[in-house]
Amino acid sequence: MKITKFLGLSFLLFAFAATSFPEGVQAEDPEAVLDFYGDKVKAGAPYLIQDISSIPGDNTTNYVVGATKSNDGVNRDVILSYGNEGLPVTFSPVTKSTDGVIREGSLITVSFAADTCKMAGVTPMWKIGFNSTGTGYIVTTGGVDQLNQFMITKDKNESSFYQLSYCPKSDPFCECSCVPVGATNDKYLAPKAAVVVDVRFKPELNIYGDKMVSE
């Protein structure tokens, strides 16, 4: 009799555990980053980064992310350029995904997808470097995979726009939080700049509807 009661109680406990902890329950993926057309941003696909924030003292519009030579003549510093001077970039998730979608709040690397940024011995991947002209630390090229990571998050005030952040916590010697990337007065992209840049991503075509400029 005692054995029968024990077996019955064991069966009930097993059934309760099975219903309380269903197999295969996983946390949902973060929301996908959407491009200008509302489609999911894909890893490895080229996009122009459009700046839709205002820059104090500058009345021009339609800024896009481009590049200029730095003081050493090798690396390309990341700047805001006007109109068709923008250069396309690609995003790569640090943790590879099965669907190839770039997601909000996920660590990524950013690289220029333009021949003019493929210098000998220097990668087109973004990193933070020091500009000796007095600009300070800015976004430039020459990054190394897994060590120079960024993040895309949705703008808190406008859900259709995004913000880029640099994540120094990817540095094995620094346990730091991600910091927003903004624009300096001379339009260099830089961490902790006075003006945080709100952006959106446009694939394949430039802001005029023409073929994307690759150089």
Mean pLDDT of 140-148: 84
pLDDT score recorded for residue 29: 81
Write the CB contacts of 137 (distance below 8 Å, at least 6 apart in sequence).
128, 129, 130, 131, 190, 191
Mean pLDDT across 24-29:
60
Residue range 178-183: average pLDDT? 92
Most confident of 48-52, 103-107, 110-114, 156-160: 103-107
Residue 86 near residue 64 (C-beta atoms within 8 A): yes
Backbone torsions φ then ψ of 79, nearest 5 degrees: -135, 170
Per the prediction, the chain carries an average pLDDT of 77
Residues 6+ apart with CB under 8 A from 46: 88, 89, 90, 113, 203, 204, 212
CA 151 – CA 176 distance, rounded (Å): 14
Please name the amino acid found at residue 162: Y
pLDDT digits (tens, 9 = 90+) for 56-78: 455 555 689 998 865 565 678 99
Secondary structure letter of residue 41 according to DSSP: P
Q: Could you report the per-residue pLDDT of 103-133, keeping only the tens digit for each? A: 999 999 999 987 767 666 788 999 998 886 6
Would you tell me how many other CB atoms lie within 10 Å of the CB of residue 14?
10
Domain boundaries of the chain, sorted by first residue: 45-203
Third-level CATH fold of 45-203: Trefoil (Acidic Fibroblast Growth Factor, subunit A) (2.80.10)
pLDDT for residue 10 is more than 60: no
| pTM > 0.85: yes or no | no
Encoded tokens for 79:
């700047």
CB atoms within 10 A of CB 129: 19
Report pLDDT for 5.
45
**DSSP character for 15?**
H
